Structures are given as C-alpha cells and as structure tokens.
Structure 1
Amino acid sequence: MIAILLFGYLYREITGFEQERIDDWLMREHAELIREAPDELIARFQHQDQFDPRRQRPFALFDTGGKHLAGGYPGEQPAIPYFDEPFSMRLANLPGHPPGRCIAARLSDGRIALQCQNTRELDHFDEELLHALLSTAMLTFVIGLIGASLIGISAMRRLDAVTASIEEIVGGNLSQRLPVHSKRDDVDRLVSVVNGMLDEIERLMHEVKGVCDAIAHDLRTPLTRMLGALERAQRRAKTESEYRSAIDETIVETTSVLRTFNALLRISEIESGVRRKGFTNVDLAAVADDVFEFYEPTGEDKQIVFEVQRTASGLQEIQGDPNLLFEALANLVENAIKFAPHGGTVRIALWQDARGVGVTVKDDGPGIAKAERDAVLRRFYRAEASRHTVGNGLGLSLVAAVAGIHGMTLEFKDTCVGCEISLFKPAHGHLVDNR
C-alpha cells in the first residue's frame, strides 16, 4: 500500500513537472507576442511555421471573424475557454487530433493569437511512466506479499516452538527453556526475560523443595525424641517426678520445634516486604550499641574480648526498620560469640567510606569455608563447623532476608583466621549483591 502511494506521488510530480515546463514556455511566448507590433505578427507566425514542419508547436492568427490568417494551425478558430492562461484542448484540425496545451491572446485590434504545444509525446511518456510505475508497484506488492508470507511462516514456526516449550514446562519439566534464535530481535529479548523468570521459578521451586526436605529432616529428630520420651513415661514412669521429667523433655523439644517455625514465619514476613511501610531513618551506630549492650553479659560469661570499634564519627543513617536491623546484627553477633574460642575476640566495627555505610562483625572462630558461603544463606543449611552446635540453620537466612528488604549487601571477607561478615548499604552508584 505504501509503495502504491509512493508511486502515485512520483507519477503526479513527474507529469506535473512536465506540464509546468510547457506552461512556463507558453507564458514566455505569450509575453513576447503581446510586446510584438500588430503589423509584424503575420510575418512572425509564418516564420515560426517554417521551422515547425511536424506541427509540434502550431501557432495561428485569426481575424475578428475567426478566419485563419497565418501560422501552422490550419482551419477556423477553435473554441477558446479563456485568454492569457494556459489550457488543454484537442488540436482537432491537425492529423490524428493530438492533445495540446495552448494559450490565447485577444489583440488590441480584435484579432486572436493562438500558441500551442503538441503534447502527444508527453502523453505517451505519461502512459509509459504509469505503466512502469504500476508494474513496479505490482512487483513490489508481490515481493512484499511473498516476504510477509515467509516472515509469517517463520514467526509461526517460532511460536509453535515456544508453545511446545511452554506445554512441556506446564507438564512439569521446569528445566525446559523457551528457544532463543540468533536474531536478537524483540521476540528474542522477550524470550530471554521469560527464560530468566523461569530460572528464578526453578530456583525457588528447588529452594522450596529443599526447605520442605530440611523441615522434615530437622523436625524428625525432636519429634522422635518427644515420642520416645512419652512412650518411656507411659511404660516406665511410676512416680510424679518421673512423669514431670518426661513432660519437661517434651516441652523442651516442642519449644525447639516452635522456635524453628517462628523463624520460618519471620523470614517469610521479611521477604514479603510489608515492613518497608514502617521504614524510618535509623542510625546503625545506635543499633550496634544496643546489640553490644544486649550480648555483653554473654561475652563476659564466655570470657571473650567483646568490643565496638568506630572508624567514622557522627550519624551513620540509613532508611530501614530498627527492629529488623537489630535482629540481623544480633544474629551475626550471636554466631560470632557462639563460635569464638574461650578467651577469643569478637569485634563489631562501624564504618563509612566510598562503598557506603555499614557494620562488620569479626571473630577468631573456625570461620566459614569459601565454598560454603552461598550455601549458608539457604534455610536449614549447617556449615561443617556448626553441625555439632545448637541451632536450626536459619540465622544467616534471616540476616540475608533483612539485607534484601533494606537493599543492603551481605559480604564475607577472606580472612586467615575466623570469620568476618559485613552488612552495609552501598553508596549511590555501587551495585548490590544479595545472593
């Protein structure tokens, strides 16, 4: 359609240009004729006729009665629609009655001067041009139709491939991905986004499965101990103290189970993002001081060197929830105290530099192997060094959730001895990695 409109515009412009050129010539001839002396017009027309044997530019001079006086246009005066402006008419008195473009002038003595241009060749050119443009337009249309058909077939094949992949994914094969071609067009960009979403869905599904397996594994032991204690009490207990002992064991195990579920619910609540509505300006230094004050007695009981170190003065404010930040930092400090050796050191360091503002917890315990740093952020994962200590493997998962909701980075630093973990808010222009 666009090609046809374009060719129509070209045809109109080209033919219009040719007619404009003829009209311009007629107006110049007309202006010269008006300036010519009346008694010299017959000689002028006869002279012009001698140089136009093929009657391509027939001129004629007619008397007041319309009779032919001079010029190459034979016969009586034709009907003239108007004077002093170019007009089109058939040159009826010429062989073949060719089309022409003419201009007429009424002279001061009443005679009529007619000047024409035979436009047969121009009309023939217009016909050939129209034929060429129509043929080209038709060829363009056919080529466009074929191209559109091929593109349509290719698009349908791609859609069929995408549909087949989606059906396979819906059928349960979460590892399947939508096909990406090498064209890198809009469809491929969309497919890449969808594949990224599928990667995340697969990761979450595996994580959910892992959490379910971990819950089943971690709850089996306390539930088994609870059942065993109750069965022993049923079989063996005869005194009140024996029954009380069995009940105490059951309460301890039940409390452990409830603590695990409460931790899971807490992480889910944080990851949902609902707590963002209550964000305010929080001074990390004040949070660190509160955590230090809370765990200072625990550090004294274990006889470790427990201290807060400031490398920046003034407020170290970020937008956040003070309770969540306290909970995250408390988990890091609790782990550090738990794994630090008797008489060891745990340090809370507050800092602010080009990377941002943050807090670092460092201890001289067994540390976390580099290969396990991503894994320890998963729910219920227990590092090798912590398998024989009390815990449910959810502490660092909660810290990661708090970091995520605050747009903070949780970073492990390579150390020769112990463990060093930083929780910081990146400055503008720094990337956040909360893997």
Structure 2
Amino acid sequence: MRLTELHRTTGFRLATLFLVLFGVIAMLLFGYLYREITGFELERIDDWLIREHAELKREVPDELVARFEHQNQFDPRRQRPFGLFDASGQHLAGGYLGDQPTIPVFDKPFAMRLAILPGHPPGRCIAARVADNRIALQCQNTLELDHFDDELLRALLSTAMITLMTGLIGASLIGISAMRRLDAVTASIEEIVAGNLSRRLPVHSKRDDVDRLVGVVNGMLDEIERLMNEVKGVCDAIAHDLRTPLTRMLGGLERAQRRAKTEAEYRAAIDETILETSGLLRTFNALLRISEIESGVRRAGFTSVDLAAVADDVFEFYEPAAEEKQIAYELQRTVPGPLQIQGDPNLLFEALANLVENAIKFAPHGGAVHVTLWHDTRGAGVTVEDDGPGIARAERDAVLRRFYRGEASRHTPGSGLGLSLVAAVAGMHGMMLELHDADAGCKVSLFKPARSHLADNR
C-alpha cells in the first residue's frame, strides 16, 4: 500500500475523527476561557469606574476641580486620565487635556479611543453630568489589557496549531502502522493463496482487536491445513487400500478367463469377485457415512436419548459374537437409572457398536471385554475395555484418522474406518472420545462432558 492511500486506512480515519472531535472541544474550551478571562478584566475595570463614578456623585461641586487636579498628580503616565469640562466642552481640570470628546452615554461604562495619548490607545470611560452643566469624564487606559488579549489569543491559536500538527503526525503514524500490518497480512494471504498452507498471518504483541481476529483466522488456517492433509491422506489411503482388492478382482477374472472350463469354476470366480466388490462397497459406504455425520445434517433430528438403553442394546447384540470366542463379556453400571442426553439414537448405537465390535475382535480367544456405564463429575458416558494387544500411545491420535491401521491390526480384517466413524459421531454430539492407559489391552471412553450434559438436561 502506498502513502498516497494513507487516508483510506481505518486507523488514520479513526485518529483523524478523534482529532476533529478533540479540536472542536478544544476550540469551545479555548473560546470559553478567552471570553471569561477578557470579560473578567473588563468587568474589573468597569467595577472600578462605577465606584469612582459613585464617589464623584457624592463629591461637593466646589471641590471637583481640586479632586481632578489631585488625581492628575498621581498619574504622570496618564494611564487613568480624568477630565472636567464646562458646558461648552472646554477643559477645566484633570489629566484629560483638550476639548471634551464625544460622550456616547452617561453614567454607564463605554469604550473609546483616548485621543489625548500617543497612538490613541483604547480605553474604558464613564461620564457624568455635574453641577453648572459641567461634564466629568473618568477613563482607564486598556492598551495593556488589549495586548494581554492579543497574547492570550495568540497562545491559544499556537496551542491549537501545535495540537493539530501533533494529532496529524500521530494519525499518520497510526495509519502507517496499520498499513504495515495490513501489508504483512496481505502478503501472508497471497502466499497462502499461492499454495503455502503452512503460512500464518503475523501476530504482534499488542493483543488488540486485530490480533484477536488474526488469531481466529490462524486457527481457521490450522484447521484447513489439517483437513487438506487429511483429505490427501484419505486419497492416498483409498488408492493404497483399494489397489489390493481391485488387483485381486482383476487377477481372479483373468485366471477364470484363462483357466476356467466348467460352470463351477466360473461360478467360483464370480463369487470371489462379488465378495471383493462387497468389501469395496462397504468401504465406500463407510466413507459416505462419515461424511454425512461430519456435515451435521442429522443434528436437526436430535431427541432425548437414554444412553444406558443404547448400551444395553449394543451389549445384547454382540453377546453371540462374544460367546463364540468364549470371551468374558459383561456390562456394568456405576449408577442406576437412565443417562439422558440429546442425540441421534441410531448414530449412538452405531458408535458404541464399533467400539464393542473392535474390543471383541482384538480380544484373544477366552479373553475379557467389559462395558461400563458411568456418571460422575466429568460427565456421563460408556467405557469399553478389552485385554487385547491395545493401542500404542504414539498411535492414539493416528488411529482416529481414516484408513489408519496400527501395527496390532495389520493382519486383522477391516478398513480402518471404525474409530473415524466413532470420532465423527462424538464430534456431532459434542461428546469426547478418549483412549486411556490400561494394564493390558485397550480402554476407550465415549462420554458427554458434565457442562454439556447438564445443559442438555435443562
């Protein structure tokens, strides 16, 4: 961004707006101070003139000349020239020499130029008619007051100009800082758009609203990068996992084409192909199922679900499979009564079924699988524990990814999508999926945190 575009930045505009508001307030304040200070000085002079005027009114007429001459002796600089004039306007006494000036008003203070003084300085005067049609004039030279007013006005204007210049410089610095931050953010975004998903928007140490927004955007970019990597991983996994069954299908069909001569041989080849195709369809259906769950479209149909009843159904459904492997299979309750949460009963059944199926699948012949319903300070949920090979700590995050198969499950039938589906159901329901340390085997908990659980019950 160029400096010519500085006025377009939000920081510069806000700083300028506040500068204008401050300038208006400062002008009103300066005007008030100027008016009050100058008005106070004028009021003080007028009060003095009115007191002198009142004393003059009480003076004996025959002593007026002596009074004016006495006052003149103590005012050699003519800062307070008094003058007594006869009916024709001729000077009789006092320091105001010359003929009587034009009197605009009597018995009230007024402003006029003091023509008897060099430069005709401004003054405040009061005039009165006294005995024998004489005119008494009392004045105060206000040149110093006017000079003070000029200096005060100059000081206020200088302060205003300095404030204006300082404000404009500050606004420019704020605008330039905003431009630099915007340029850095823009450059980062352009790099991200160009394909560098690991790039992040720069965060300053100011902890302001922009940094908060940048933090949210960086979090969004982290999620986008994770999803893109997951999509890439899923694509790679699909290509890898589908290559083997497709190769087997193609090889079986080619062998049937070359070798089969009887109907039974062709039927066997077709049965093998159907079996492989069914496996592929199950894999694709599982992927579509996970995508449907992650989209959240079924969240609108949530109802109150008894998690305990769902666990009972799952436990009963897998009893035959556990008996076939002679597994010690049991369901335990730590609390009586229902465990009500908001959710989709079919999806919760499917998630618990995957956990129990995995436990039975990986438990050794004659092993044990325990399903526990619990409700405590953490929340309400189900824990499934088996004594199989377990999941290594280093693989606990990876097993939730699609198509990932740990070392213990390499030679076990499956697509690696079971725990991914459970994680998707958990996320849709605001539940937690945790893999715990166990003395032997694997221990997995699916539960609703206490705060969310309480909110649902309300």
1:18 pairs with 2:41: no
The structural deviation recorded for 1:64 is: 7.4
Tell me whether 100-109 or 168-177 shows the greater mean CA deviation.
Answer: 100-109
1:335 aligns with 2:354: no
**More displaced 10-residue stretch of structure 1: 242-251 or 66-75:** 66-75
Q: 1:131 to 1:140 in 2, by over 3 A?
A: same
Residue in structure 1 matched with residue 233 of structure 2 by the alignment: 210
* Matching residue's letter, 1:190: L
Out of 128, 144, 163, the position equivalent to 1:121 is 144
Alignment of 1:212-361 (within 5 A): 212-361=235-384
Is the 1:22–1:117 Cα contact (8 Å) retained in structure 2? Answer: no
- Residue 351 of structure 1: SS of its match in structure 2? strand
Alpha-carbon separation, structure 1, partners of 2:136 and 2:380: 98
| CA 216–62 in structure 1, closer or farther in 2 if over 3 Å, else same | farther
Q: Contact conserved, 1:357 with 1:426, CA < 8 A, in 2?
A: yes
Q: Distance in 2 between matches of 1:196 and 1:82?
A: 84
Deviation at 1:184, TM superposition (A): 4.1
Structure 2: distance between partners of 1:268 and 1:106: 107
Moved more, 72-81 or 321-330: 72-81
1:340·1:365 contact (CA, 8 Å) conserved in 2? yes
- 2:417 is the alignment partner of 1:394: yes
Q: What residue in structure 1 maps to residue 3 of structure 2?
A: none
In structure 1, distance between residues paired with 2:445 and 2:267: 46
Relative to 1, partners in 2 of residues 1:112 and 1:317: Cα closer, same or farther, differing over 3 Å? farther
Q: Which amino acid aligns with 1:12?
A: G
Q: Note the C-alpha offset of 1:252.
A: 1.0
| Stretch moving more, 147-156 or 353-362 | 147-156
Structure 1 residues 245 and 106, CA gap change in structure 2 (3 angstroms): farther
Instruction: Give the deviation of 1:207 after TM superposition.
Output: 0.6
**Alpha-carbon displacement from aligned partner over 1:213-233 (angstroms, at most 9, x marks no partner):** 001111111111111111111
Task: Look up the SS of the partner of 1:424 in the other structure.
Answer: strand
* Structure 1: gaps (5+ residues): 431-435
**Greater shift in the superposed pair: 130-139 or 273-282:** 130-139
For 1:348, the aligned partner's letter is V
Deviations 1:319-353 (A, max 9, x none): 11111111111111111111112222212111111
The count of corresponding residues between Structure 1 and Structure 2 is 429
Secondary structure of 1:173's counterpart equals coil
User: 1:22 aligns to what SS in structure 2?
Assistant: helix
CA drift of 1:55 comes to: 3.4
- Rounded Cα–Cα distance in structure 1 between residues aligned with 2:302 and 2:67: 100
1:189 Cα deviation after fit: 3.5
User: CA 1:33/1:421 → structure 2, altered by over 3 Å: closer, same or farther?
Assistant: same
Identify the match of residue 169 of structure 1 among 164, 184, 192. 192
Stretches of structure 2 that go unaligned for 5 or more consecutive residues are: 1-18, 454-458
2:50 maps to which residue? Answer: 30
Amino acid at match of 2:50: H
Alpha carbons 2:332, 2:370 under 8 Å: kept: yes
What's the CA shift for 1:24? 3.4
SS of the residue 1:178 aligns to: coil
Residues 30, 105 of structure 1: 8 Å contact kept: no
Question: The residue matched to 2:405 in structure 1 has which SS?
Answer: coil
On the 8 A contact 1:68/1:77 being kept in 2, the answer is: no
The root-mean-square deviation of aligned C-alpha atoms, in Å, is: 3.1
